[in-house]
Every structure is written in C-alpha cells, then in structure tokens.
Structure 1
Amino acid sequence: MPQIFDATPAQVDDMIAAWAGRGGAIEDLTLDAFTALQDRDDISVLRVPEFVPHDSDLGCSVTGGYRWDPPTLVVTESMSPRRQQFTVLHELGHHLQKTDIALGTRVVDHRQPELFEDACCDAFAARVLLPDDLVDAHTAARGPTAQGAIDLFDASNASRAAISVRLAGRLQSPGVIAVLDPAGVVTFAAARGGIFPPARGSDQSSNPLVHAALEQTDPTRIITRDDARVWYRTGHSSDQLYGQVGWAGDRLFVVMVEYGASWLSFSPPRDGTAHHTTDRFEECETCARSFIVGWICPRCRQPRCPAGHCGCTATAQITCAVCFLEKHRSQFAPGADTCDDCAG
C-alpha cells in the first residue's frame, strides 16, 4: 500500500511538466485518460480481461502493469471504469519516471526507490483526476474528513483509490485514508507520516470504528470514534487513532489520524497504546487475504490459507502469454508459455 513521501509533490509537479513537454494536456487526461492516450505514437494502452501479462513490470499498488518494449500501459478490464482511469494514469506515471532522466534519477537516488516511484505514480494519477480546486472545496481547513471523501466521490469521476491518495496528501498529522469492502476488508489504503497503511486484503473488522460502521443500519451516517486502530498481518496494531468512517456506495471510506483530527477541537497523540499478539499472520499470494497460520503444507512447507492455497497451488498456475488467463500447468505443453487452447 502506498505512502506519501515528502519529495512526492515535487516529483509529481515535474511529471506533469514532463507530460506537457511531450505535447500532452493534463485537462484531456482528467476528462478521459484512455481517449487522450489512444492516438499517441510513443505509448500504447493494452486492456486485458483479468491478469496482467508476465512480461510487464508488476508490484504496483494497482491492478495493472507497465511493459518496457514497446512502451505499453496494461490495465485489467475487470475493474470499475473509475478504477481503470486511475490505473492507466498510475502506469503512465511509471512510463514518465522510467523515460525521463531527471525523474528517473530522483527515483534511483531515493532511499526507498521502488516505494517512492509507486507512491509518485499514485499521487500523479490522483492529482490528474482531482484538481486542486475540487479537492479544496471538499476538504476542511484542518484536514480531510470522511464526509469530504464521500463528497469528492459524488462530485468527480475519480476512484476511491484516487481520492484516498489525494486526501492522504492533505493529512496534517500521521494518518491513513482507507477503502474497505462490506466485510471490513481493505481494498486500498494510503498513509502519510510515521504510520503504515494496512495491507490490501487485511481484515479490519476488529477495528472498533469499522465494526461500528458494519453494525449500523443508516448508510448515510458518519461515525466518529477515538479508539480506532489499524491491524497489521503481523498481529500488531497501531496506537489508538482518531477516526471517521462513512459509506460511499458499497465501500467504506475510513479516515484515521494519530493526533490533530480536523473534526475535534482537541485530539492529542496517545503513544504506547498499540496491541500485540503472539499469533502469526500471513497474507495469501493467491487470494490476498490475511490469515492466522494454523497449518503448514507438508509438501511446500508454506502456510495454507483457509481457502486451501499454499506454495503448491501458486506454482501450479501459469499465465498464458496470449489470452493472459491464469491456468493450471497441465493446460500447457512442457516449456510453453501459451496454453493449449491458444496454441491450437
């Protein structure tokens, strides 16, 4: 999950300038990134049904990829139209940083180059989709609120992920902006300051703030609590946080800060309130859900998640280079990267 670094805003400014220097218009990207990119001869966009091709640069905070040769932005069609716009702009951010010497040098020189590059891609996409004047109109003077996040979602075509990144950049103290599904599981999160965002797929339903939102019957109500906390797959939690949560469609926007909450007149930090547990947590590479390790596969010696996934099932899957679908290796000829259906 992305974090906001101090150097991110300056890098994004230069990314926007670099795009303008290549004849691109930010306003066109804001209106419809796919239309703005479709006629360019220096980069192309590839939409795939579900899985990103194996020759793309992965590890992003989004479901997409960047292919070096020829320069291609890869976007999965299974996402919502809003999320596809965010993803294609995120991948454009990778393209700019990998093909501009000044931008690339700043990435390489950063103490955490991969995280910094990805964070700048998220921030670039969010800046394009959510111009400053629009964000200003829905952000309180002292920082973001859950209602402001919901209002931004209603007033724009931006995805919840873009809104999370944009508002995380407006936090005035260490904090997290997260999006959760109806079960309380993280689908996206962004953080600023010394707090780490929860992992995608991690269950946050034990967070008192999230639990209260899942239990309420009025979807228009904004819930505020001062005992919120982030739970990590290690079994540890953050210190107690000040939080707000509210529904935006079928997802929850969660805003949590360590101190200086914009909706309170007094909210000091509460160090030393983190929880710890001896349970060992892992995240399944197949279904991306966090789970407490209860059984180790005797063959691969890796933890097996509640859905039955372990190292054995992960290595049994191959992504076809033609249809980009993930299939069992028995559907491929020995040594082939194209499935039998496509090869025939």
Structure 2
Amino acid sequence: MIPPREVVRQQADDMVAGYRRLHPESFAALSIDPIEVLSADHDVVVLVVSELGEAGTPEADRCSVAGMYLEEYDPPRLRIAAAASAGRRAFTALHEFGHHLQRTDDGLGDRLEGLPDQGVMLEEAACDLFAAKILLPDDRVAAHLGAPGPTAPAVVDLWKASASASRAAVCVRAAQALPAPGHVVLLGTDGRISFSSSKGLPPLRRASDQSGVPTIRDALRRGGRAKGRTRLRYRDGIEGEELYAQIAPMDGYLLLIAVTDSAPWESFSLPSRQPATRGASWVCSTPGCDAEFVAYERPCEHCGQPSCPHCGRCGCSPKTVERRCSSCNLLLPLRMYLGDSNECVDCH
C-alpha cells in the first residue's frame, strides 16, 4: 500500500519541527554538516564505516540509502557507508536519523501505527523527505522547479545550485513536485538504480538493472539524453505501467523523470491506455508441458523459475514426461493434469 502524499509531507514537516523544537541551537548547522551535528547529539552514535556489515537483512534491503539505523543499541547507532560522496553521506545520515525521530516521538509513531498497511513505506518516504527538506529549503526548490512540474534539466540545475545537497536529496524534492504519479530516478552509467523517489506508484528497488529499458538504453548510447514512452522494471522482469520519460546527464549519472501524464516536457500527454503492469514471459521447463505463460509471482528461490499455471511445476520438479490417469488408465503428457492430480483434465 502506498501512503498518501499529504501524509508523507505532514510526517516530514512534523519531523523537521520536532528537531527544531528539541535542538534549536543546532538546527541551522544541520543543513551544513549533518554528520558533525548529529555526532554531537548524545541521542545517537554516528558511525561512518567502509562496510555496513548487516546489509542483506530485510530492513537494510528496504532502505533507500546506503545506511542503517540500529535501535537495539543504547544509544542507537546510525551506520553510514563511507564509499558515498560527502553529499550522499549527509543525506544518508539525515535519512537514518529520521528513523530515530519517528521511533522515539509518540506523535510520529502514532501516525505510523494508524496506517498499519502503509506504516513501513510511510516511515521510509518520510525519512527521505525529512533529509531533503533539511538540505534543500522550499524557496530554493520553488525557484528551480516551476508550476508545471520538474523537467530533468531543471532538476540537474537545482542540484548544481545546491552545493551541499546530494543528488538523492534533489530527487526526493523533485518527486514531491511531480504533477502526476511517477518516479525521479538516479541511474549509474551501467543503467542500475543508484537512488529513486516515487509519488503515487510502487517504489523501484535500489540497484535494480534498468539498462534494457529502451529509453534508458538510448540515453546510455547518446550522451545521457533521451525521452519517450517507457516501462520501468520491477522484480523478476515485471514491468510497470507505461510512462512518459525524460532523461538528462547529471555529472557521471543519468537523471530520469517519468510520469503517467501531464509531463511538462511534452506539449500533450494523456494517461496511457495500458496503465497496468506487465508480467514476465516464461516457457515451462517441465518435459511434456512446455507451456508459455506470464507470471507475476516470485520465482522459486532454488531454480529461479515460477510455478507453471498449467502443470503447477517449477524447474525443481521431477522431470517426468507422462503420467497414467487413475480413472481412464491412459498414459498422458503432464499438460493433461492439474498440479499433482492423478486424474487427467478430461476425467477430473
């Protein structure tokens, strides 16, 4: 479930106000050097490390940045990856501190608990927006991102005008200004997602490979600029709905903006007639079945293939080609049976 945009904004605004209330003397400095300011705060311990050490856990995989909030320690720890740029480390430190604010403030925690189906995504999105609001004040954002909504070149210009703000912070602020549901995505030169921020659509996974998406492939080949209709990729080859996309170079990265409609770089952009996601195509590997099908479910963790809806088997299943029907006693191919049933479809 995707939390409403207004709820995310209210949560982030309350986080900013909460910090200002608790630490008025350091609030102004927080946007200049967050790591130094937070390191002096006895509520948390900030650790800049070469390896996160606990990546791969569900919580770390869910996080949009290269950092972790470890609340089991006393005081809690913010673990920040040292490999990132100074701007990215600042954004990550603020993002992780956002988890601390939401888990130690009763009012913020109550809002998360009030949306049980959306609480995890609300917490994560509010952390991103809290960090972005600290690093990029509203007046600076408004000066670069006009009323029709952000274009990719305008977002790049906002980043260049904000020396202390990371690319990630700019992506979050741009996503909040999108005129329609969509994504603002930072891509590496290999086409993998370095960071993304979404509005009204399911979030894209960090490090997912988008290099095969036609518009992104064109940008990688043509100096980082491209635009057109596109479908971005979720897990296991599943594609999202068709979006209007624009891409611009961002000093070693690509900045992609994609929206369902009202794209400010297009003179006319209506919602797609095919808004649904598109599943991945498979051919069943079970001998005697060989059915072609589209899958949305996660593939088997052992063989990497989803279950075939025709024979009910994945790549781990026994390679039996035929089975004798318990009713008609005929030896028939597996496609004539439903799952593990011993009766063929004609006798069932």
Q: CA deviation at 1:38?
A: 2.7
3-state secondary structure, aligned to 2:10: helix
Aligned to 1:62: 65
1:38 and 1:9, CA in 2 relative to 1: closer, same or farther beyond 3 A? same
Amino acid in structure 2 at the alignment position of 1:16: V
Aligned to 1:315: none
8 Å contact 2:46–2:78 — kept in the other structure? Answer: yes
3-state secondary structure, aligned to 2:270: coil
Aligned to 1:41: 42
Q: CA deviation at 1:4?
A: 6.8
Structure 1 vs Structure 2: percent identity of aligned residues? 37
- Bigger Cα displacement from structure 2, 202-211 vs 92-101: 202-211
1:275 and 1:41, CA in 2 relative to 1: closer, same or farther beyond 3 A? closer
Alignment of 1:300-311 (within 5 A): 301=302, 303=304
Aligned to 2:167: 160
1:302 and 1:26, CA in 2 relative to 1: closer, same or farther beyond 3 A? farther
Q: Does 1:198 align with 2:200?
A: no
Aligned to 1:256: 258
1:245 and 1:163, CA in 2 relative to 1: closer, same or farther beyond 3 A? same
Aligned to 1:79: 84
Aligned to 1:178: 185
Q: CA deviation at 1:237?
A: 1.7
Distance in 1, matches of 2:258 and 2:101, equals 32
Q: Does 1:129 align with 2:130?
A: no
Q: CA deviation at 1:234?
A: 3.3
Amino acid in structure 1 at the alignment position of 2:134: V
Distance in 1, matches of 2:174 and 2:143, equals 12
8 Å contact 1:4–1:190 — kept in the other structure? Answer: no
The TM-score, its normalising length taken from structure 1, stands at: 0.75
Q: CA deviation at 1:31?
A: 0.9
Q: CA deviation at 1:15?
A: 0.6
Distance in 2, matches of 1:167 and 1:210, equals 19
Q: Does 1:14 align with 2:14?
A: yes
Q: Does 1:5 align with 2:11?
A: no
The gaps in structure 1 that reach 5 residues or longer are 281-294, 305-344
Q: CA deviation at 1:173?
A: 0.5
The gaps in structure 2 that reach 5 residues or longer are 284-298, 306-348
Q: Does 1:142 align with 2:148?
A: yes
3-state secondary structure, aligned to 1:47: strand
Q: C-alpha offsets along residues 201-256 of structure 1, whole Å, 9 cap, x if unaligned?
A: 22212222211111114x5xx4332x222122232322321111011111100001
Amino acid in structure 2 at the alignment position of 1:66: Y
Distance in 1, matches of 2:235 and 2:82, equals 29
Amino acid in structure 1 at the alignment position of 2:46: V
Amino acid in structure 1 at the alignment position of 2:185: A
8 Å contact 1:184–1:203 — kept in the other structure? Answer: yes
How many equivalent residue pairs? Answer: 282
Aligned to 1:287: none
The TM-score, its normalising length taken from structure 2, stands at: 0.74
Amino acid in structure 1 at the alignment position of 2:78: L
Among 185, 210, 213, the residue aligned to 1:207: 213
8 Å contact 1:8–1:116 — kept in the other structure? Answer: yes
Q: CA deviation at 1:27?
A: 2.4
Distance in 2, matches of 1:29 and 1:4, equals 28
- Bigger Cα displacement from structure 2, 179-188 vs 48-57: 48-57
1:301 and 1:238, CA in 2 relative to 1: closer, same or farther beyond 3 A? closer
Q: CA deviation at 1:64?
A: 1.1
Among 152, 157, 174, the residue aligned to 1:151: 157
Distance in 2, matches of 1:56 and 1:73, equals 17
Q: How large is the RMSD of aligned CA atoms in angstroms?
A: 2.6
1:82 and 1:278, CA in 2 relative to 1: closer, same or farther beyond 3 A? same
* Rg larger for: 2
3-state secondary structure, aligned to 1:28: helix
8 Å contact 2:239–2:280 — kept in the other structure? Answer: no
Q: C-alpha offsets along residues 170-203 of structure 1, whole Å, 9 cap, x if unaligned?
A: 111011110111121111111111x223322222
8 Å contact 2:144–2:158 — kept in the other structure? Answer: yes
Q: C-alpha offsets along residues 142-196 of structure 1, whole Å, 9 cap, x if unaligned?
A: 1111001211221112222211111111111011110111121111111111x22
Distance in 1, matches of 2:144 and 2:106, equals 36
8 Å contact 2:42–2:75 — kept in the other structure? Answer: no
Distance in 2, matches of 1:73 and 1:56, equals 17
